[in-house]
Chain A
Amino acid sequence: MRHTLGIILCAGCAFAQSGIEVPVIGTIVDSSGSLRSVQGVAGSFWWGPPGVSGALSAACSERLCLVKTDTKILSPTGETNAPPGPAIFGVTADDAIVFFPMTHTFARWHDDALDPLDWAVDGEVLSVLRRDGEIEIAVRQDGHVWIVHPDGSMVDSLADATGPVTLLPDGVLFATADEIVVRHPDATEARFQLAGAGSIDAMGPHYAAVHIGGAIYVLRTENGRESLFLLPGTTP
Chain B
Amino acid sequence: MTRAILLAFLLPLAMQAQIALFTVANGAETPVGAVLNLGKVAAGDTASVRIRVRNIGATTANINYFFVDGVGYSLDRPTLPFPIAPGSVQDTLLSFTQSTVAPLYPANLRIDSDINSISAIVIAAVVVGPVLTVFPACTGSLNPPSVDFGLVQAGQLRLCNFSLQNPGTQDMTISTFKATGAAFQISMGPSAPFTIPAGSAITFVVNFTPGTAAVYTGSLAIETRTYGLRGTAFNTPLPTPLLEFDSGSVQSSQQRRLTMRLPTAATSSASGSVNLAFVPDTTIVTDDPAVVFLATGTRSLPFSITQGSTLISIGGQTSAMFQTGTTSGRIRFTLTGVPIAGDPTTILTIPPSALSIDSAIATQRTGDLDIQVTGFDNTYSAGAMTFTFSDIAGQAIQPGAIRADFTQDFRTFFTQAKGGSAFQVRVSFPVTGDTSGIGSVDVQLTNSAGVKSQHLIFQ
Residues of A that sit less than 8 Å from B by CB: 1-13, 15, 18-24, 39-47, 206, 222, 229-236
Contact = CB atoms under 8 A, between A and B. Distances in A.
Given A3-B438, A43-B255, A230-B321, A23 B402 contact: no
Contacts of B406: 9, 19-20
A30 to B, nearest CB: 12
A19 B294 CA distance: 30
A147 to B, nearest CB: 26
B391 interface: yes
Nearest to A233: B297
B386 to A, nearest CB: 11
A1 B296 contact: no
Contact of B424 (A8, A20, A230): A20
Contacts of B431: 3-6
A231 B433 contact: no
Contacts of B412: 18
A230 B409 CA distance: 31
B442 to A, nearest CB: 14
Nearest to A225: B359
B399 to A, nearest CB: 7
A23 B419 CA distance: 10
10 A-B pairs with least C-beta separation = A233-B297, A232-B297, A43-B253, A23-B424, A41-B358, A20-B413, A44-B253, A230-B294, A41-B422, A23-B374
B404 interface: yes
Contact of B409 (A9, A22, A43): A9
B323 A8 contact: no
Contact of B437 (A3, A41, A44): A3
Given A20-B410, A44-B252, A3 B422 contact: no
Nearest to A14: B426
A44 B323 contact: yes
Nearest to B387: A7
A20 B253 contact: no
Contact of A39 (B358, B419, B427): B419
A1 B389 CA distance: 14
Contact of A22 (B295, B356, B419): B419
A229 B321 CA distance: 10
Interface in B315-340: 315, 317, 321, 323-326
Nearest to B438: A3
A9 B253 contact: no
A45 B368 CA distance: 32
Nearest to B414: A20
A40 B359 CA distance: 12
Contacts of A45: 290, 323
Interface string B342-384: 0000000000000010110000000011100011100000000
B239 interface: no
Most buried by B among A2, A18, A41, A234: A41
A19 B426 contact: yes
B289 interface: yes
Secondary structure of the A contact surface, majority rule = loop
A20 B421 CA distance: 11
Contacts of A9: 404, 406, 409, 427-428
Given A5-B402, A23-B424, A206-B359, A13 B370 contact: yes
B249 to A, nearest CB: 14
B285 to A, nearest CB: 14
Nearest to B317: A236
B134 to A, nearest CB: 51
A39 B376 CA distance: 12
Nearest to A2: B433
B325 A44 contact: yes
A19 B402 contact: no
B425 A41 contact: no
B430 A41 contact: no
A46 B397 contact: no
A199 B425 CA distance: 33
Given A3-B437, A7-B402, A233-B296, A41 B375 contact: yes
A19 B406 CA distance: 10
B425 to A, nearest CB: 5
A41 B290 CA distance: 11
A103 B413 CA distance: 47
15 contacts: A3-B397, A3-B433, A3-B437, A4-B432, A6-B430, A8-B429, A13-B428, A20-B410, A21-B423, A40-B290, A41-B374, A44-B253, A46-B290, A222-B359, A235-B296
B434 A40 contact: no
Interface in B382-419: 387, 389, 391, 397-399, 402, 404, 406, 409-410, 412-413, 417, 419
Most buried by B among A6, A21, A24: A21
B203 interface: no
A141 to B, nearest CB: 37
A198 B181 CA distance: 54
B345 to A, nearest CB: 23
A47 B426 CA distance: 23
A4 B399 CA distance: 8
Most buried by B among A18, A20, A24, A229: A20
Contacts of A40: 290, 326, 419-420, 422
Contacts of A44: 252-253, 290, 323-326, 376, 420, 422
Most buried by A among B255, B409, B429: B255
Interface in B418-459: 419-420, 422-435, 437-438
Most buried by B among A22, A47, A236: A22
Contacts of A11: 428, 430
Contacts of B297: 46-47, 232-234
